[in-house]
Amino acid sequence: MTKTTVSHPALSLAGRLRAGDQVVGGWFCPPEAHFAEAVARTPLSPIVLDVQHGLHDIASIIACVATIAGAGKPTLVRVAVGDFALASRALDVGAVGVIAPMIDTADQARAFVEQMKYPPRGRRSWGAGRAMAVLGDVEPATYLAEANDRTLALAMIETREAVAAIDEILAVEGLDGVFVGPNDLSIALTDGDRADTRDPILDAALERIVAAARGAGKIAGIFGGPAERAKAFRAKGFSFVTVGFDSMYVAAGVAALLDEMGEGTAGTDPAAARTSY
């Protein structure tokens, strides 16, 4: 019998979310470990590294996961579409969860889970030495016994097909929950006409997703973007909401400093910060 040990605060994230805790995470695209550490030293937790639309590779993931862990925070990684090999590698270097984009079917969710969970839930290959070191020198037997429960496999819901199949997706054994991409979902629901997370066309789909997750006893998360949207999404019942992203944090911080100095910042809107991601 292995000794149950939560050696790092990051290892408690999955249990907290399953218990219904609400968390506000950060979103981080550039491959800059020191910047990632600065974000992790704010109240935001967890920090999501974006591979799909960001600039990360395995080297920057390794570096950023370590600095985020050094700040006492958990890391999740949003991989590129279908890159389930990177999903398991992200766990091997100390991430405690992966968000997989464009999951439209239960079969796609199963393929994702296979790479995320050890047998009997999946087929994840053993190679978690870096994770054990980063997360507090966890013993191999303990890591193996606890990894399936302490790591999160979250499927992104971003299309009409995914919303229609939400119950089947959430029924996949080993899938811990879903994470909505509201920009892509709004594009899908408007047949490519607009990307607008404020569009009322999203409301029914978001309500259906939250209700399905609750019914399945699983996690419902969403990319929040600007603070007012993150707040609105939380009010809809999402327990895991991210707010802002890297360049928005810088813009908001500079605006706050200038306001404190009494310098005029009229016409500037930190929430409108843009990146090429």
Closest CA to 171 of 228, 109, 118: 109
CATH classification at residue 198: 3.20.20.60
The alpha carbon of residue 181 and the mean position of all alpha carbons in its chain are separated, in whole angstroms, by 10
**Residue spans of beta strands (DSSP E) within 42-141:** 47-50, 75-78, 97-100
Instruction: Tell me, yes or no, whether 79 lies in a domain.
Output: yes
Instruction: Tell me, yes or no, whether 6 lies in a domain.
Output: no
Q: Mark whether 34 is an active-site residue.
A: no
- Which of these is catalytic: 8, 34, 53, 56? 53
Q: How far apart are CA 160 and CA 141, in angstroms?
A: 42
Q: How far apart are CA 240 and CA 156, in angstroms?
A: 13
Instruction: Tell me, yes or no, whether 268 lies in a domain.
Output: no
Instruction: Tell me, yes or no, whether 242 lies in a domain.
Output: yes
| Structural domain containing residue 19 | 13-261
Specify the number of domains making up the chain. 1
Query: Tokens representing 76?
Result: 């999740």
pTM of the model: 0.93
Kindly give the confidence (pLDDT) of every residue in the chain, 277 residues in length, as a single tens digit, with 9 standing for 90 and above: 344 455 799 999 999 999 999 999 999 999 999 999 999 999 999 999 999 999 999 999 999 999 999 999 999 999 999 999 999 999 999 999 999 999 999 999 999 999 999 999 999 999 999 999 999 999 999 999 999 999 999 999 999 999 999 999 999 999 999 999 999 999 999 999 999 999 999 999 999 999 999 999 999 999 999 999 999 999 999 999 999 999 999 999 999 999 999 986 655 565 555 544 4
